[in-house]
Amino acid sequence: MDELKGRRALVTGAGMGIGQAIARELARQGAAVAIHYASSAAGANETADGIRRQGGTAHVVRGDLGVVADCRRIVDEAVGALGGLDVLVNNGGVTRTADFVEMSEEAYDEVFNINMRGYFFCAQQAVPHLEKRGGAGGAIVNISSVHGGGGAARHVAYAATKGAIVAFTRTLAIELAPRHVRVNAVAPGLIEVPRYFDDPSYTRESGNERVPWGRVGLPGDVGPTVAFLASDGAEFVTGQTLYVDGGTNAKMALESAGGTQRE
C-alpha cells in the first residue's frame, strides 16, 4: 500500500501499544516515520528496526512530553531527521487510576502535563511545518479515548484529559482550517495493551465479553483509522472524533481494565 507515500509523520508514545501499532501502519502505507518514546527505548528501537527491514524509513527520538522544551525539541528533531513534517500523531500519554478522593496533586499534574499539555505544544511546534503540505494539507491526529465520552470509576483525571483532547481537536480544527491543516481525533475503546495484564482479573475472554462487537480491540485495530485521517482520502474531514471501539461508546457503558502505563 502506498496511500501515505511521501508523507513524513511523527508519532509520539510509539515505543509500545497503540502508538507502536500506529507507527507500523503509517510506515506500511508508505510514510517515513519518527518514533517518539519517553521510557520504552527497546520497543521504539524494535519498531524502527522492523520498519527499516521492510524497506521503510524510521528514526527514533526521545523526550518527556510533560516538559514544553522537550515537546519543541521532539518535533524539531523529527523535522530534521525526516526533512519536514506532514503528519503529527499525538498519542503519548499516561494512565493513572485512583479513587477521586485519593488522587494526589502529583498524579493529577502528571496526567494533565503529559496527556494534554504535551499534545498542545507538540501541535504548536508542528504547525509551521504541517502548513507547507500541499494537496489535502497537513494533518494532526490526536488520540483520545472512550473515557472522554463515557464515565468509569477511578478514571476521573484521565477522562478529563481525554475529554479535553476532544474539545482541543474540535477548536484547533477551526483555527487551522485557513492554514490547510486538518485536525481530528481517534478515540480507542478497550484495546488490549500490556498494562491490561497488570490487573490479575483480566483475561482475553473477559475483554471479549465487554465489547459489543464480541472481541476486545488490539493495537493494530487503531492504526488504519489514523492512517485514513492522515491521507488524501480524508481531505474534507476535520474537527471530528472517530471511535474505534467495537461499539462500546454506542452502548453507553464502559468497564475499566488494567493498571497504569506511561508511554
List, by residue number, the catalytic residues: 158
Q: State the residue for C-alpha cell 521510557.
A: 39
Cα–Cα distance, 206 to 125 (Å, whole number): 41
Phi/psi of residue 145, each to 5°?
Answer: -170, 160
Chain-centroid distance of CA 88 in Å reads: 9
CA dist list (Å): 83 to 129, 181, 190 = 10, 18, 36
Amino acid at 184: N
In 105-237, which ranges are continuous DSSP H helix? 105-112, 118-130, 156-176, 204-210, 223-230
Angle formed at CA 245 by CA 20 and CA 21, multiple of 5 degrees: 10
In sequence order, which residues have a C-beta less than 8 Å from that of residue 242 and are 6 or more positions away? 184, 185, 186, 187, 225, 229
Residue 202 has, within 13 A of its CA and on its CB side, a CA count of: 18
Cα–Cα distance, 158 to 17 (Å, whole number): 17
Give, as one character, the DSSP assignment of residue 39: S
Cα–Cα distance, 93 to 160 (Å, whole number): 13
